């Protein structure tokens, strides 16, 4: 059985943008040594082992960041994207 890569478009809510950008640049705001960003998103079907490219929009109508992602644990009808790192 092969594990397929996929992409996810993340439209970051305006009220979360500053916090997530700070975490992506500086890390440690959630008690981790490096930048690890977590964002709750609607449930989606994707293997947690499969590569996931995140196309993140921190400005309306634009993809501003690309990152490596992973579908995290789910609960209360949401899933988490984790380990989203900025790519230049």
CA-to-CA separations, 5 to 11, 27, 35, 60, in angstroms, rounded: 20, 26, 23, 26
In a domain, 20, yes or no: yes
Identify the domain containing residue 10 by its residue range: 6-82
For residue range 16-72, what is the model confidence (pLDDT) as tens digits?
A: 888 888 777 776 555 555 566 778 888 888 888 888 888 989 899 999 888 888 877
Residue 61 is assigned to a structural domain of this protein = yes
What is the three-state SS of 14-47? HHHHHHHHHHHHHCCCCCCCCCCCCEEEECCCCC
Q: Examine residue 88 and state whether it is found in any structural domain, yes or no.
A: no
pLDDT at 78: 64
Per-residue pLDDT at 47: 82
Domain contains 66: yes
Categorize the per-residue pLDDT at 77 as very low, low, confident or very high, splitting at 50, 70 and 90.
low
Question: How many domains are there within the chain?
Answer: 1
- Residue 61's pLDDT is 92
Given a contact cutoff of 8 angstroms between Cβ atoms, the answer to whether 54 and 66 are in contact is: yes
Residue 87 lies in a domain: no
1 is a domain residue: no
- Cβ neighbours, 10 Å, residue 54: 23
- What pLDDT sits at residue 51? 84
Looking at residue 82, its pLDDT comes to 61
Cα 68–chain centre separation: 8
Instruction: Judge whether 18 lies within some domain.
Output: yes
| Domain assignment of residue 14, yes or no | yes
């Amino acid at each position: 059985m092969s594990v397929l890569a996929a992409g996810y478009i993340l439209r970051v809510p305006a009220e979360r943008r500053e916090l997530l950008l700070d975490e992506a640049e500086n890390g440690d705001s959630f008690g981790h040594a490096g930048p690890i960003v977590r964002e709750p998103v609607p449930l989606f079907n994707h293997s947690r082992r499969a590569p996931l490219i995140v196309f993140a929009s921190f400005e309306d109508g634009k993809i501003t960041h690309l990152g490596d992602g992973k579908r995290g644990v789910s609960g209360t009808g949401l899933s988490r994207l984790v380990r989203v790192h900025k790519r230049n």
